[in-house]
Amino acid sequence: ESDVSDRLTLESVRDSLIRQEDSIVFSLIERARFPLNAPTYDPSYFSMPGSYGSLVELVVKQTEAVQAKAGRYENPEEHPFFPDDLPPSQVPPHKYPRVLNPAAVFVNVNKKIWDVYFNKLLPLFVAPGDDGNYASTAARDLECLQVLSRRIHYGKLVAEVKFRDEWTHYEPAIRARDKKTLMDLLTAPAVEKAVKKRVAKKARIFGQEVKVGDDSDENKGKYKVDPAVVSRFYGDWVIPLTKDVEVQYLLHRLD
């Protein structure tokens, strides 16, 4: 099997992040089909044996258990939200390319992603209201959580590539545990600017009303998810959390 590292470049990992933007925008569009549906998140809405808390926690925990048996978390790019008590994989092991330093496994920011998604993003992009579709709503929330988690933890791969390209700059900062210098070294303002612009454009294009027979631009600024909300979410949370993952990974890189 060819050495993965000769295919792993900053350009290739950035291309993957660009492709993941599509999945993130579409997952938000699909969640926005439902109103807030607050009982989904209310621990007092239902009770069943086993401490599940809210309905969304039940759906996430049980879905992650099934996906763990199917081998999902054998992939180093995947991170469960409830890692405790996950069942072992039941499928033949797949040889994932070993790119990351094994210490990468300690970097997991899913608790923060959970908090930010439900408390900062969700109220901004879904309509108020309750249509009773709580199980479907929870399934859409899980899709959003998983695609955001994959994107943000991709910061490990980005950091690995940057380390390999410029290890003489990174090594002293890692040994000095100098997070500020590490953050300065890995930050690419022009790329961040382009990311924020592109995700807003994708939200406009993917979320527009498609009319047939009349090509006039009748969208009148109506989109399934507000492009400005998507762009601001990337700027305020997705990019900063990705960079936190990069810094945390680099701090473990020489373990």
Ligand X SMILES: C=C(O[C@@H]1C=C(C(=O)O)C=C[C@H]1O)C(=O)O
Chain residues in the site for ligand X (CB under 6 A): 14, 17, 158, 186-188, 191-192, 195, 239, 242-243
Q: Which residue in the shown chain puts its C-beta closest to ligand X?
A: 242
Task: Give the residue with the Cβ less far from ligand X, 41 or 233.
Answer: 233
Question: What is the closest distance, in whole angstroms, from the C-beta atom of residue 203 to ligand X in the complex?
Answer: 16
Residue 166 has φ and ψ, to the nearest 5°, of -140, 45
Per residue, the 3-state secondary structure of 22-85, as one string, reads HHHHHHHHHHCCCCCCHHHHCCCCCCCCCCCCCHHHHHHHHHHHHHHHCCHHHCCCCCCCCCCC
Question: What is the closest distance, in whole angstroms, from the C-beta atom of residue 192 to ligand X in the complex?
Answer: 5
Question: What is the closest distance, in whole angstroms, from the C-beta atom of residue 183 to ligand X in the complex?
Answer: 9
Task: Give the residue with the Cβ less far from ligand X, 7 or 211.
Answer: 7
Question: What is the closest distance, in whole angstroms, from the C-beta atom of residue 244 to ligand X in the complex?
Answer: 10
Q: Which long-range contacts link 114-120 to residues 24+ away (Cβ below 8 Å)? A: 114/81, 114/145, 116/237, 116/241, 117/141, 117/144, 117/145, 117/148, 118/41, 120/233, 120/236, 120/237
The candidate with the shortest Cα–Cα distance to 197, out of 165, 150, 244, 231, is: 231
Task: Give the residue with the Cβ less far from ligand X, 64 or 246.
Answer: 246
Contact of 150 with 78, CB cutoff 8 Å: yes
* Residue in the block written with tokens 């940057």: 162
Task: Give the residue with the Cβ less far from ligand X, 63 or 231.
Answer: 231
Residue 119 to residues 52, 62, 104, 114, 149: CA-CA distances in angstroms? 19, 22, 27, 8, 16
Structure-token pair, residue 68: 């763990």
Question: What is the closest distance, in whole angstroms, from the C-beta atom of residue 176 to ligand X in the complex?
Answer: 21
Question: What is the closest distance, in whole angstroms, from the C-beta atom of residue 207 to ligand X in the complex?
Answer: 21
Task: Give the residue with the Cβ less far from ligand X, 116 or 158.
Answer: 158
* DSSP letters spanning 180-225: HHHHHHH--HHHHHHHHHHHHHHHHHHTBPP-SS--S-TTTT-BSS
Question: What is the closest distance, in whole angstroms, from the C-beta atom of residue 51 to ligand X in the complex?
Answer: 35
> Who contacts 93 (Cβ-Cβ below 8 Å, separation ≥6)?
71, 74
Task: Give the residue with the Cβ less far from ligand X, 112 or 211.
Answer: 112
Task: Give the residue with the Cβ less far from ligand X, 1 or 11.
Answer: 11
